[in-house]
């Protein structure tokens, strides 16, 4: 069975603020059926024979929606996330609706989800019908950034059955 909502977290620290933020956003979409914390697979990402990573790529590719989350590093997403996304073939996310989510220390990088992460997701064939979400580190536990994003984005997420979406 494929995941309805998958989450991919590209933070090198396991169960990070980025992880928490991604699950908070997934809750607005009815909850995550698959969570890939790349910190748990860092040693395998460059092993092209890894069946575990290949299986994760297959599961994410089969999801309806994928939240792709990363802390902001040097104004873009992490190398860990890049290594995972490099495993997808051309159009490997075709048919998947993607939501870019990034966390950062200041508003100076608030366009990072749009200028970095969105581009690679579209290149992989994903539909990105909404603005990406940028959350300040100090606000990641507050509901407001997620609620505000969800209120604007919900009409553009046709892949999600409205009766299963949480309206916070």
How confident is the model over 154-167, as a mean pLDDT? Answer: 60
pLDDT of amino acid 77: 96
Residue 28 lies in a domain: yes
Q: Does a structural domain hold residue 162?
A: no
Q: How far is CA 106 from CA 10, 18, 135, 137, in A?
A: 19, 15, 9, 8
CATH number of the structural domain spanning residue 99: 3.40.50.360
H helix intervals, 6-113: 17-28, 51-61, 79-85, 112
Q: Rounded to an integer, what distance in angstroms lies between the CA atom of residue 58 and that of residue 6?
A: 12
Q: Is residue 152 part of a domain?
A: no
Q: What is the mean pLDDT of the chain?
A: 92
pLDDT at 23: 97
* pLDDT score at 163: 46
Q: Is residue 154 part of a domain?
A: no
pLDDT tens-digit readout, 30-56:
899 999 999 999 999 999 999 999 999
Coil, helix or strand at residue 40: helix
Residue 114 lies in a domain: yes
59: pLDDT strictly greater than 80: yes
- Tell whether 18 is covered by a domain: yes
Q: Which two tokens stand for residue 10?
A: 């590209």
Question: In which domain, by residue range, is 64 found?
Answer: 5-145
Q: In Å, how far are 49, 104, 123, 126, 137 from 91, measured between CA atoms?
A: 21, 29, 7, 7, 32
Helices (H), the chain: 17-28, 51-61, 79-85, 112, 118-123, 144-153
160: in domain: no
The torsion angles phi and psi of 86, rounded to 5 degrees, stand at -65, -20
pLDDT in tens, 102-151: 999 999 999 999 998 999 999 999 999 999 999 999 999 999 999 999 99
Q: 102 in a domain, yes or no?
A: yes
The rounded distance, in Å, linking the Cα atoms of 20 and 49 is 30
Q: Is the confidence at residue 15, as pLDDT, over 80?
A: yes
**For the chain, what is the domain count?**
1
Cβ atoms within 10 Å of 90's Cβ, excluding its own:
8
Greater confidence (6 vs 161) lies with 6
* pLDDT classification of 84: cutoffs 50, 70, 90: very high
Between 144-153 and 17-28, two packed helices, what is the crossing angle to 10 degrees? 40
Q: Could you tell me what percent of the chain has a pLDDT over 70?
A: 93
């Amino acid at each position: 069975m494929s995941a309805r909502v998958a989450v991919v977290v590209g933070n090198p620290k396991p169960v990070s603020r980025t992880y928490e933020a991604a699950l908070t956003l997934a809750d607005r979409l009815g909850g995550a059926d698959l969570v890939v914390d790349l910190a748990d697979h860092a040693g395998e990402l460059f092993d092209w024979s890894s069946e575990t990573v290949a299986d994760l790529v297959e599961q994410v590719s089969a999801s309806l929606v994928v939240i792709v989350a990363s802390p902001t590093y040097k104004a873009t997403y992490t190398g860990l996330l890049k290594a995972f996304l490099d495993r997808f073939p051309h159009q490997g996310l075709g048919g998947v609706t993607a939501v870019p989510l990034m966390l950062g220390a200041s508003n100076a990088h608030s366009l990072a989800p749009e200028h970095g992460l969105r581009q690679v997701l579209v290149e992989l064939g994903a539909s990105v019908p909404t603005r990406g979400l940028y959350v300040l580190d100090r606000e990641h536990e507050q509901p407001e950034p997620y609620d505000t994003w969800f209120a604007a984005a919900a009409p553009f997420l046709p892949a999600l059955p409205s009766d299963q979406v949480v309206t916070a």
